[in-house]
Structure 1
C-alpha cells in the first residue's frame, strides 16, 4: 500500500452532538434500554467511527459515472450492537449526499460533523441485537476515485465512495457489489464476478462477491474498456487488465507474476488465498492493493526484464494478499505487521530471483529511509500508538523499520526457524486479525527461544522487566 493512503489515519475523534433533526419516538424490536445507559457507554464518549457495533456484511449496488467522477448507490449494512446504550451509528464521513436511511425499515436521521457521519437512533440499542441499515446516496467522492476519460478505478479510500469505517482494521465483513456499467465495459472488483446481467436501457450489471470477509479499506472496483489477459497459476487464475497496454505488453510487463506467486506461497506456507487475482495496469506511479487485486502504475514497473531495482511494486502488492489482506493488523498501532512484512518479503523475493546483493540493496533502501527519520529526531517502536508528523515518517517506521526488524529476526533465528515461524504465524491467523504479540509467539514457538529482549528493543520500546505476551 504505497499510495498516499494514510492521510485518513490522522482523523481525530470529535465528541459532541451535531444538530440533527428532531428524533421521533419510535417502538421497534431492536430498540431497548434507557438513556441512563449512555452515561457509561465508551462508544458515546469516544465519537469514533465503528465503535459500539460490528458489521457482518456490506451489500452495494453502485452506478459510477466515469466522465463526471460521481456515483449513485444503494447500500445494505448488516450489523450488531456490541455494547449497551449505543444511540448513534458512526461511520467515516465523506462528501456523498445521503438520500434515504432506514434501520430495519424505520427512517432515521443522519448528520455529519468533522470526520464522522452519524445515524441517530430514537432510543439506545441493547447489546447483541442485529440490525439492517439501508441507505441510498449520490455524489462526487472527494478522494478514492482516479482514472482517465474512459476509465475509473478506486484507490484506497473506500469509505469516500460508500458508507463504512475506514480505519476499523480489525473488523472484517462480507462484501458484494452490483456494479451498473455501460454495455461492453469490463469491470474489476473484490472476489469473482458471479453474474453479468443485461438491462433494458443497454447497461449491464456485473455482480461481484468477495470470497471471505475483508477489512473495509480493502474494498474497491474499476470500470473501463480494458484489455484483459488471463493465465493460470496452479488452481488460481491471474488476470491482467489495462486501458493503456495491449495483450502483448500486459504479458511482458507482468510475466513474472506466476513465479512470484509460487515463491510467496512457499514462504507463507499457504497458497495464494484468492482463486482470482487481478492486476490493473494504469498510467502513473500507483502501487495499491485491494482485497483480491492490485492497481499498478507503469512508472512503478520495470521497463526491461530482469531489472532487480524496479519490480518491488508487483511483489509488495502481491504479498499483501497474505500479509495485510488475509491476515490484518487489529489496529493501526500494529500496522507495521501489514507493511513491514511485505516490504521485507520484497527484499526476500529479490534475493530469490537476483541474488544476495539485490536483497542487501533493498534493505539498504529501507535503512536510508529510517536513517533520514532518525536524523530528523524521530524514531519510535514499531508498535507505537501515537501520531506521526508526516506520512513519510510513518512509512519510515512501519515499512522500513518493520522490514529491517524482520531481517534482524532472520539473522537472529537462522533461516530454518525464521521461515518456520513466519509460516506458523501465517497459517495460525489466516482470515483473522493480529497484534505484534502474535508474531512474537509464533517466532518463539518455531525457534524455542525467548525473543522478549529483541521485541522489547524494536517493537514495544519498553523496559526489559515488562513482558507482553
Structure 2
C-alpha cells in the first residue's frame, strides 16, 4: 500500500532548518491605517530587539512587496536596502551582544498575501466589506516587517485605524478604543510572547457577543445580522475551555478568547493567539444545526491555544506538534461530549484520509526537513496521522501517564518552541518511559504504517486460542518492521478477557489459554493502532463481534 506515485519533495530539495538570528525580537508594536476601498495598508512597525551575535552591524527582516519609506534605529535615520523580499538595515556600527536596540520601519502596501481586503462584487453584491490577515505559515512578512520564523517569539501590540462603524480585532486585551474624526482607532496589547505568524487583524462591520468562562472574556464576532448563527455555532466554546483545561492540566493560558467569522477566508480556521479566525461558511442556521455541528473545527482551533500558540513547533518540519495535537483534541472533545463510540468514528475518518494520501500520492515521515514550501507539510500525514499517533501514545502510556506527560510538556516549554525530541523527553521525565523507539518509527525516522494479516483459531482439546499475526508490508526505504504493542480481546462466558501482546517480528503466534471457547476474538480492540488489518476467523466469531462487541467501532467493522 505504499504511496509510490511520487516523492513528497522534489528531487534536489534541500533540507529546511531554522534560520540564524543576530537579534532577538522581544516586542513588536504595529501602528496601522486601513483603507479598505483603496485596499491600502499604511503602517509603522516598531521592533524592540536584543543583540545576540557579537559585533552585529546589520539586521535583516522579511518584508515582501512592501514599500519602505523610512527606517530608524533608535531616534536616528538608518540606511537600508530592500529588494522586495528582505529588508537589510544598517545599525550604524558594530553592536555588542546584549545591547538593546529599537528599530522602526515606515511602510505601505497593497498586499497580495498575508492581509486580504474583501467586499461586494458582481457575483456577490451582499458580501461584507472586511479586512483580515492570515500569517501561517510565512505570510506575516507580507503585511509587516518581521523575522518570520515560528521559533521567534515576541510580545505584541497592534494599533489600527479603521473606518467609522467598523470594529477591529487583534491579539490580547483591547486597551484603547476611540473615535478619531470620522474614523476609529483600536489598540490591542498581548504581554505574552508568540510567533509572528500568529499576529492577527480582522476588521469590518462586526457585531460582538460576550460571554465569560471563569475569569476569561469569551467573545464571538460576526457580520451584523448573523449574531444568532454565531451563537449557535460557537455555543459550546466555554465547555470546551473547561474540558481542555482539565485534560491538558494547564488552564487556558490567556485572559481572553475571541472567535471572528470573516468572508472568503482561505482556510476553515486559524488559531491566532487569543483570537481565532473562522470562515463564515460554517455558520449554522437553525435547520443546519439539526443535522450537524462544527465542533471539530471549533475544538481544533481552540486546542491550538495550548499546542501551537503557548508551545510552538520550532520549525515547520515539526509542524505535527501543532497540528497533530489540535487534531487529536477534536477526539478529546468528542469523547468528553458524546462518548468514546462517537469519538472513535473520527479516528476512522483520519485513517481513511491519511491512507488515501499515503497510497495514492506519496509517503513521508511526519517530521521532515525535506519539503519544497512550508505549506506542503500541512497534509493528511501531519494532521490525521499525527492525531492517530497521539492516540496510540495515549494507549501505550495509559491515561494518567499520558495526561501527566502533556501537563509536564506544556509547563516545561511554556512560551517556547519545541521539536519531537522535546515531547519524547517530557514523556520520559514525567513517567520514566523511554519511548525513543515509538517516536522513531512513527514520527522521525519511519514512514508508512503496518499491514497485517491476523488469524484466530481455537483448539478445544488444549483450550488454547491462537492468534497468528504477520507483518506483510515491504520493509523498504523508511518503512520499518514495526514494534506493535497491542491487545487481544476474547469474550469468554460473557466477559471480555484482554491479553497484552507485542508484535516485533515478521510473524508471531500467540497461544492464549482460556476457560471456554470464546464467542469473540478481536485484534486491537477499538482499532487504536494505525494499520491496515486483514483478519481471518470463524463466522461465529464475526457474528459474536457484530452482535455484542463492547466498542461500537469493533461492531461496525465486523
**TM-score of the superposition, structure 1-length normalised?**
0.82
Alpha carbons 1:340, 1:403 under 8 Å: kept: yes
Q: Please report how far the alpha carbon of residue 172 of structure 1 lies from its aligned counterpart in structure 2 after TM superposition.
A: 1.2
Alpha carbons 2:229, 2:283 under 8 Å: kept: no
Q: Please report how far the alpha carbon of residue 376 of structure 1 lies from its aligned counterpart in structure 2 after TM superposition.
A: 4.3
Counterpart of 1:409?
A: 393
Aligned counterpart in structure 2 of residue 345 of structure 1, from 307, 329, 339: 329
> Per the alignment, do residues 244 and 401 of structure 1 end up closer, same or farther by CA in structure 2, a change over 3 Å counting?
farther
For residues 70-85 of structure 1, what are the structure 2 equivalents within 5 Å? 70-85=40-55
Aligned counterpart in structure 1 of residue 98 of structure 2, from 116, 121, 128: 128
**What value does the CA root-mean-square deviation take over the aligned residues?**
2.9
Aligned counterpart in structure 2 of residue 173 of structure 1, from 146, 154, 170: 154
* 2:194 matches 1:211: no
* 2:72 matches 1:106: no
Q: Please report how far the alpha carbon of residue 208 of structure 1 lies from its aligned counterpart in structure 2 after TM superposition.
A: 0.7
> Per the alignment, do residues 237 and 306 of structure 1 end up closer, same or farther by CA in structure 2, a change over 3 Å counting?
farther
For residues 15-414 of structure 1, what are the structure 2 equivalents within 5 Å? 51-113=21-83, 115-149=85-119, 150-156=129-135, 157-166=139-148, 168-199=149-180, 201-243=181-223, 245-284=225-264, 286-300=268-282, 304-305=288-289, 310-376=294-360, 378-388=362-372, 391=375, 394-414=378-398
Deviates more, 1:130-139 or 1:309-318: 309-318
In 2, Cα distance between equivalents of 1:94 and 1:421 = 40
In 2, Cα distance between equivalents of 1:307 and 1:271 = 32
Alpha carbons 2:65, 2:142 under 8 Å: kept: yes
Alignment coverage as a number of residue pairs: 422
In structure 1, stretches of 5+ residues that fail to align are: 1-9, 15-45, 465-469
Deviates more, 1:297-306 or 1:364-373: 297-306
Alpha carbons 2:263, 2:280 under 8 Å: kept: yes
In structure 2, stretches of 5+ residues that fail to align are: 1-9, 120-128, 447-477, 481-558
The structure whose residues are more often strand, as a share, is 2
Q: Deviations over 1:176-200 (max 9, x none)?
A: 121112233211111011112332x
Counterpart of 1:433?
A: 417
**TM-score of the superposition, structure 2-length normalised?**
0.70
Q: Please report how far the alpha carbon of residue 210 of structure 1 lies from its aligned counterpart in structure 2 after TM superposition.
A: 0.7
Alpha carbons 2:316, 2:377 under 8 Å: kept: no
SS, match of residue 430 in structure 1: coil
Alpha carbons 1:214, 1:291 under 8 Å: kept: yes
| Structure number, greater radius of gyration | 2
In 2, Cα distance between equivalents of 1:153 and 1:79 = 27
> Per the alignment, do residues 345 and 306 of structure 1 end up closer, same or farther by CA in structure 2, a change over 3 Å counting?
farther
Alpha carbons 1:141, 1:161 under 8 Å: kept: yes
Q: Please report how far the alpha carbon of residue 309 of structure 1 lies from its aligned counterpart in structure 2 after TM superposition.
A: 6.6
Alpha carbons 1:329, 1:338 under 8 Å: kept: yes
Counterpart of 2:124?
A: none
Alpha carbons 1:169, 1:217 under 8 Å: kept: yes
SS, match of residue 213 in structure 1: strand
